[in-house]
Structure 1
Amino acid sequence: MSLSKRLAERRPLAAALGRRRLAAGLGTFAVLEVIAAVVLAVVVGWSFQDALESFVVTNGLMGCAFAICGAVIAWHRPSNPIGWLFVADGIGHATTAVGAPLAQLLHDNSAPVELQRLALTIFSWSWPWSIGLFLPLALLLFPDGRLVSPRWRPVAWAVVLTSPLFALEMGLSPESPFEGGPSGYLTLSSYDTLQPLWIATELRGLLAFALAIVCLVIRYRRASDTGRRQLLWLLLAAVIAVAFMIPWALVAGTPIFVLLAIPLVPAAVAVAIVRHQLLDIRLVVSRAIAWALLSIVAIGSYAALVAVTDSFISSRFGRSAALTVIVALLIAPVLPRLQRLVDRAMYGDRRDPARVASRVGEELSANPEGGMTGVVSAIRSALRLPYVALSSNGELIATAGSPEPGRPDTTTPLAPPGVVPVELSYGGSPVGVLLIGLRPGESALSVADRNVLALVAVPLAVAVHATQLSAELQASREKLVAAREEERRRLRRDLHDGLGPTLTGVAFTADAAANLVSADPDRASSLLGTLRTDTRTAIADVRRLIDDLRPSALDELGLVGALQQRADQLSWRADGASVSVKVAADSLPTLPAALEVAAYRIATEALTNVVRHSRATAAVVSVRCGSELEIEVTDDGPPNGAWIPGVGLQAMRERAAELGGLFEAGPSPNGGRVHASFPLVVMER
Structure 2
Amino acid sequence: MTPGDSATSPAQARWPVVLAAGLFGIAVAEVAVAVIGSAVAGMTWIEAWDHFVVTNAAMGLSFPIGGVLVAWHRPRNPVGWLLLAAGIGHATTAAIVPLAEAGVRDGWPGGLIRTLVTVAAWAWPWSIGLCLPLILQLFPDGRPVFRRLMWATVVTSPLFALEMGTSPDPVVDGFPGYLIIHADLDPLWTAVEVRGLAAMTVGLVALVVRFQRGDERRRRQLLWLMQAVLLVLIVLVPWGVLQNAPVYVLLAIPLIPAAMTVAILRHQLLDIRLVLSRTVLYALLTAVVVASYVGLVALLDSVMRREAGLGSSAAVTVLIAVGFNPVRVRLQRIVDRIVYGDRADPVRAVSRVGARLDTGLPGVLEAVREALRLPFTALRTDDTEVAACGAPPELLHTIPLTYGGVRVGEVVIGLRAGEKRLGGPDRAVLELLAAPLSVAVHAVALSEQLQRSREALVVTREEERRRLRRDLHDGLGPVLTGVTFKADAAGNLLVTDPGRARALLTELRAETAQAIDDIRRLVYDLRPPALDDLGLAGAIRQRAAQLERPGLTVLVEAAGLPALPAAVEAAAYRIAVEALTNAVRHSSAGRVRIRIHADGHPAAAEPAAHHLHVEVADDGSGSGAWQPGVGMRSMRERAAELGGTCIAGPEPTGGRVTATLPLGAT
TM-score range, shorter chain: 0.7 to 0.9
Matched letter for residue 406 of structure 2: S
Could you say if the C-alpha distance between residues 438 and 527 of structure 1 is closer, same or farther in structure 2, counting changes exceeding 3 Å? same
Partner of 2:284: 293
Q: For residues 504-553 of structure 1, what are the alpha-carbon distances to aligned partners after superposition, in whole Å with 9 as ceiling and x for unaligned?
A: 32233234324423421321232123213312321331232133223568
**1:263 correspondence with 2:254:** yes
Partner of 2:400: 423
Structure 1 counterpart of 2:65, from 54, 65, 68? 68
**1:436 correspondence with 2:409:** no
Partner of 1:331: 324
**1:528 correspondence with 2:519:** no
Residue 636 (structure 1) shift: 6.8
State which drifts further: 258-267 or 171-180: 171-180
Partner of 2:337: 344
Partner of 1:468: 445
Partner of 1:519: 496
State which drifts further: 32-41 or 335-344: 32-41
Partner of 2:24: 27
Question: What runs of 5+ residues in structure 2 fail to find an aligned partner?
Answer: 600-611
Could you say if the C-alpha distance between residues 209 and 636 of structure 1 is closer, same or farther in structure 2, counting changes exceeding 3 Å? farther
Could you say if the C-alpha distance between residues 631 and 67 of structure 1 is closer, same or farther in structure 2, counting changes exceeding 3 Å? farther
Q: For residues 439-464 of structure 1, what are the alpha-carbon distances to aligned partners after superposition, in whole Å with 9 as ceiling and x for unaligned?
A: 22223322212211222221232233
**1:217 correspondence with 2:208:** yes
Matched letter for residue 403 of structure 1: A
1:616-631 equivalences under 5 Å are 629=613
Matched letter for residue 376 of structure 2: Y
Partner of 2:153: 159
Q: Write the distance in 2 (CA, Å) between the matches of 1:173 and 1:682.
A: 95
Matched letter for residue 493 of structure 1: R
Partner of 2:609: none
Could you say if the C-alpha distance between residues 451 and 154 of structure 1 is closer, same or farther in structure 2, counting changes exceeding 3 Å? same
Structure 2 counterpart of 1:199, from 186, 190, 214? 190
Contact 1:350 1:448 in 2 (8 A): yes
Partner of 1:679: 661
Question: What runs of 5+ residues in structure 1 fail to find an aligned partner?
Answer: 409-417, 569-581, 611-615
Q: For residues 37-82 of structure 1, what are the alpha-carbon distances to aligned partners after superposition, in whole Å with 9 as ceiling and x for unaligned?
A: 1222223333322211110111111111111011111122111000
Structure 2 counterpart of 1:502, from 472, 476, 479? 479
Q: For residues 303-322 of structure 1, what are the alpha-carbon distances to aligned partners after superposition, in whole Å with 9 as ceiling and x for unaligned?
A: 32343344667896666655
Residue 34 (structure 1) shift: 1.7
Q: Write the distance in 1 (CA, Å) between the matches of 2:463 and 2:186.
A: 97
Partner of 1:238: 229
Could you say if the C-alpha distance between residues 496 and 319 of structure 1 is closer, same or farther in structure 2, counting changes exceeding 3 Å? same
Contact 1:389 1:436 in 2 (8 A): yes
Could you say if the C-alpha distance between residues 249 and 83 of structure 1 is closer, same or farther in structure 2, counting changes exceeding 3 Å? closer
Contact 1:234 1:269 in 2 (8 A): yes
Structure 1 counterpart of 2:639, from 651, 656, 677? 656
**1:305 correspondence with 2:296:** yes
Matched letter for residue 513 of structure 1: A
Structure 1 counterpart of 2:372, from 383, 386, 392? 383
Partner of 1:85: 82
Partner of 1:402: 390
Q: Write the distance in 1 (CA, Å) between the matches of 2:139 and 2:336.
A: 25
Q: For residues 312-344 of structure 1, what are the alpha-carbon distances to aligned partners after superposition, in whole Å with 9 as ceiling and x for unaligned?
A: 678966666554444444433211111111111
Residue 655 (structure 1) shift: 3.4
**1:594 correspondence with 2:567:** yes
Could you say if the C-alpha distance between residues 404 and 489 of structure 1 is closer, same or farther in structure 2, counting changes exceeding 3 Å? closer
Partner of 2:352: 359
Share of identical aligned residues, percent?
50
**1:178 correspondence with 2:172:** yes
Q: Write the distance in 2 (CA, Å) between the matches of 1:287 and 1:384.
A: 17
Partner of 1:272: 263
**1:490 correspondence with 2:467:** yes
Partner of 2:607: none
The count of corresponding residues between Structure 1 and Structure 2 is: 635
Matched letter for residue 62 of structure 1: M
Could you say if the C-alpha distance between residues 225 and 8 of structure 1 is closer, same or farther in structure 2, counting changes exceeding 3 Å? closer
1:98-113 equivalences under 5 Å are 98-113=95-110
Residue 133 (structure 1) shift: 0.5
Could you say if the C-alpha distance between residues 618 and 359 of structure 1 is closer, same or farther in structure 2, counting changes exceeding 3 Å? farther
Q: Write the distance in 2 (CA, Å) between the matches of 1:531 and 1:22.
A: 107
1:552-567 equivalences under 5 Å are 558-559=539-540, 562=543
DSSP-derived class of the 2:344 partner: coil
State which drifts further: 96-105 or 483-492: 483-492
Partner of 2:605: none
Contact 1:88 1:134 in 2 (8 A): yes
Contact 1:585 1:623 in 2 (8 A): yes
Structure 1 counterpart of 2:179, from 162, 184, 187? 187
Q: Write the distance in 2 (CA, Å) between the matches of 1:173 and 1:388.
A: 58
Matched letter for residue 337 of structure 1: R
Matched letter for residue 640 of structure 2: A
State which drifts further: 628-637 or 511-520: 628-637
DSSP-derived class of the 2:171 partner: coil
Residue 162 (structure 1) shift: 1.1
Matched letter for residue 370 of structure 2: S
Residue 257 (structure 1) shift: 1.9
Q: Write the distance in 2 (CA, Å) between the matches of 1:584 and 1:440.
A: 75
Q: Write the distance in 2 (CA, Å) between the matches of 1:542 and 1:357.
A: 62
Contact 2:342 2:349 in 1 (8 A): yes
Q: Write the distance in 2 (CA, Å) between the matches of 1:624 and 1:57.
A: 102
Q: For residues 139-193 of structure 1, what are the alpha-carbon distances to aligned partners after superposition, in whole Å with 9 as ceiling and x for unaligned?
A: 1101110012xxx22211111111111111111234432333x222x322x4333
Structure 1 counterpart of 2:517, from 521, 524, 540? 540
Q: Write the distance in 2 (CA, Å) between the matches of 1:284 and 1:602.
A: 70
TM-score (normalizing by structure 2): 0.83
Residue 603 (structure 1) shift: 8.5
Q: Write the distance in 2 (CA, Å) between the matches of 1:564 and 1:100.
A: 122
Contact 2:232 2:255 in 1 (8 A): yes
Could you say if the C-alpha distance between residues 191 and 481 of structure 1 is closer, same or farther in structure 2, counting changes exceeding 3 Å? same
Contact 1:621 1:631 in 2 (8 A): no
Q: Write the distance in 2 (CA, Å) between the matches of 1:115 and 1:500.
A: 121
Q: Write the distance in 2 (CA, Å) between the matches of 1:529 and 1:160.
A: 113
Q: For residues 70-120 of structure 1, what are the alpha-carbon distances to aligned partners after superposition, in whole Å with 9 as ceiling and x for unaligned?
A: 111112211100001001101111111111111111211112223322321
Contact 1:174 1:187 in 2 (8 A): no
DSSP-derived class of the 1:678 partner: strand
Q: Write the distance in 2 (CA, Å) between the matches of 1:89 and 1:48.
A: 24
Residue 352 (structure 1) shift: 1.2
Matched letter for residue 355 of structure 1: R
Partner of 2:603: none
State which drifts further: 94-103 or 489-498: 489-498
Contact 1:225 1:386 in 2 (8 A): yes
Residue 502 (structure 1) shift: 1.4
Partner of 1:144: 141
